[in-house]
Structure formats: C-alpha cells, structure tokens
Structure 1
Amino acid sequence: MADEDRDALDALEKEASEFVKDAEIDRIRKAFQLDAYAVLDLQPGVPESDIKLQYRKKSLLIHPDKTSNPAAPDAFDRLKKAQMTLLDEKARTHLDECIADARRLLIREHKYTLDSPELKTEEFKQEWRRKTVEVLIEEEARRRRQMKARMQEEGREKRKEEEEMEARKRKREEEKAWEETRETRIESWRDWQKGIKKSKEEGEKKKKKKMKVLG
C-alpha cells in the first residue's frame, strides 16, 4: 500500500473514530440523568461486572483526554455518576424499584396480566421507558420536598436552640451584674438602716425634750 493511501486510510479511521466519540457523547448527554441504566446504555438487572466493564469501555471512548469535543467533560461526569449510582446498593435498589413501579403502573392502566403478549412488544418497552421517566421525576420531586421540609424543620430547631442559648447568656449576664452590685446594695441597705435609726433617735430626743418642757 502506498504511503498516500495509508495516510488517507488513517485519516478516515480517525474521522470515523471521532464520529463515534461525538455520537456517544451526544447520546450520554441526551439520556435521562436520573436513569443511570440509560446513561450507561444498560438494561436493568445486569450484574455488577457488566456495569464496570461498560463504564470502562465508554469512559475510555469519551475521556476528555481522548477527544477534543468540548462536551466531553460533561458527558464523562454524567457517565461516572451513573456508574457510582449503580454500584451503590441502596441507590440501585431505589432505581430498580422505580423501574418496576413504572411497569406495574402500565400493566394496571392497560389492564394487562403478567402473561399478556403486549408486554414483550417494542411498543410496550418504549412506553415503559417513558413511564419510568415520569416515576423518577415524581420520586425526585418528592425527595426534594422532603429535603426542603427537613431543612425548614432543622432551621426551626436551630432558631429555637439559638434563642435558648441567648436566654441562658442573658441570665448569666444578669446574675453576674447582680453579683457585681452586691456590695453596693449592702452599703445602700446599711445607709438606709442608719437613716432609720438616726430618725428614730432624733424623734426620741424631741419627744423627751417636749415632755421636759411640759413638766
């Protein structure tokens, strides 16, 4: 093969490779983010080994260091997040339950049975995917409402705690001020007592003097 032909073939392969990378990046970014299976292009129920293998293949394909596509970092982050979700037992269980709920809802809506042939059609699978998106959106909305309510409750608890701390602080300051003025209060009381005693003594003297004059 001539050098010119080889160069042309290499150029075509490179172009084809970039096209595949761009297409995968576009697919990932268009996939519904709450559905980690959709992001990784996997079917629910696959073993963990398949999840790891799929992530490795796709991450090598779209890694920002391997392509000049400006959207590669975003797609790579979504891919990584999807893998982490599916490798987290609690998160994957929740996702699987949502997908199963979507299927049950469709069966109930259409009044199918578990043996209905419609469940195996491509049309049902497409409808199932759409229903899964609805269920996941509803679950995410519910989660956010719960988080908001929890944050509001925590805010109320925090304000209550701050008010109690402020009340304790005021009490300590009042007790300190009371203690610091203790000597002053004692002196004032002594002066008051002296004043009363002096007034009584003066009253007694006047009384005796008056009685002496009368006698």
Structure 2
Amino acid sequence: MSKTTDATRTAEVERILRAFKKNPYEVLDIHAFATESEVKKTYRKKSLLIHPDKFQHEQGPEAFDLLKKAEGMLSDTAEREKIDSILTYARTLVLKEALGSGYSTKVPDDDLRVTSMSPPFQIQLRTKAKQLILEESMDEKKRANMVAVNEANERAAVEAEKARRKRKAEEQKVWEERRDDRVRDWRSYKQKEKENKYKKARKNMHTLG
C-alpha cells in the first residue's frame, strides 16, 4: 500500500468528519439531487476506500459509520424527500441571489451563469442548505420545548387536580368521622342553653317573689 493511497484514505476520513452531518450529499461528497445509482456507486467507492478492515485510522470507524448513515438517509424515501425539499429551496435562494432579475427555477446547473459562480454553485448550495437545516433544527427544538412545557403543565394540572380531590376526600372523611362528636357537642350546647334559661327563669321568679 503506497503512502499516496494512505494519504488519500486519511484525507477522505478527515473530509467526512468535517462534513455537515445533517446533509447526506455533503457527507458522501456528491452533487445535490444525485440519482439513486450515483449515490450507491459513490457510497461503494468511498466505503471501500476507508473501510476499517482495509485502512487503520483512529477515527476511521466513525467516518465509516457516518458514510453508511448518509447512504441510508438517501435510500429512505421519506428522509430523501425531506432533504431534497430543503435543497430545492436552498437552490432557489442561491439562484435568486446570484442571478437577480435573470433568475428562473428552470435554469439548469450546467448553465454558464451557474457554472461560473464564485464560490462554485455546489459550495454555495451546501452553505445555504446548512443554514436552512440548522434553522429548521432550531425551530424543531423550539417546538419540542413548547410541547414539553405544555405536557409538563398538563401533568402538573392533572397532579394538582388529583391532590385537590384527595384533599377533599380526606376532609370529607374527617368530617364524617367527627359527625358523632359534632352531634354530641351540639346536644351538650343545647342542654346547657336549656339549663341556663331554666336557671335564669327561676332567678327571675325568685326576684319577683
């Protein structure tokens, strides 16, 4: 194995590790919207290049896993549609910024105005896609946080209601348990009231007599 080959393999491992992990096209280092056959061909070529069984590198297994994950994302119809929709929007923004009034979604990638872009069109596309993906990730986190907060509030409300009902049940139980005591206290009070009235009446009669 030549030093050049080792250097090439090392460079590929390092490139994959530097790539934006949420963009599988970038991880595979293939143009956006590549065909399924192009994706598989590129994956086979690069996986053979850095496969841990063929090339020993401290971070080789990590790079290989990232490569495999990227190919898996593009093989998954739903995942690919999601990525491609973001890249389509990114392409629109890049072309609008670069072409101005001459912009059209029908402008092909091999148009001279596109191929002559600086930085290169694919680089600008990846940069814009990264920005959009990160923004979407932040929005997803915000939505997830809002959902988590709402769920926490709902759980707190449920627990508070449970505690209220439990407290009310306990109070009702104590009320029921003390019913006889209250009856006795009431009867005792009425008896004393009756006795006091009797004593007062006798005292008044004695005074008048």
Classify the TM-score, shorter chain.
0.7 to 0.9
Question: How many angstroms apart in 1 are the aligned matches of 2:86 and 2:189?
Answer: 82
Residue equivalent to 1:23: 11
TM norm structure 2: 0.75
Residue equivalent to 2:127: 130
Q: What are structure 1's unaligned runs of at least 5 residues?
A: 1-11
CA RMSD of aligned residues (A): 3.0
Question: How many angstroms apart in 2 are the aligned matches of 1:138 and 1:22?
Answer: 32
State the one-letter code of the partner of 1:119: V
Question: How many angstroms apart in 2 are the aligned matches of 1:97 and 1:54?
Answer: 22
Residues 1:118 and 2:113 are matched in the alignment: yes
Residues 1:140 and 2:137 are matched in the alignment: yes
Contact 1:36 1:82 (8 Å CA) reproduced: yes
State the one-letter code of the partner of 1:200: K
Residue equivalent to 2:81: 93
* Cα displacement (A) at 1:57: 5.2
Residue equivalent to 2:20: 32
Contact 1:86 1:92 (8 Å CA) reproduced: yes
Match of 1:71 among 59, 62, 66: 59
Larger radius of gyration: 1
Match of 1:105 among 64, 70, 93: 93
Q: What are structure 2's unaligned runs of at least 5 residues?
A: none
Q: Taking every aligned residue pair, what percent have the same amino acid on both sides?
A: 34
Question: How many angstroms apart in 1 are the aligned matches of 2:125 and 2:140?
Answer: 22
Question: How many angstroms apart in 1 are the aligned matches of 2:86 and 2:59?
Answer: 29
Change (3 A) 1:191 1:151: same
Residue equivalent to 2:29: 41
* Cα displacement (A) at 1:105: 0.9
Q: Deviations over 1:25-67 (max 9, x none)?
A: 1121111112111112333334546545654554455344554
Contact 2:50 2:60 (8 Å CA) reproduced: yes
Aligned residues between the structures: 200
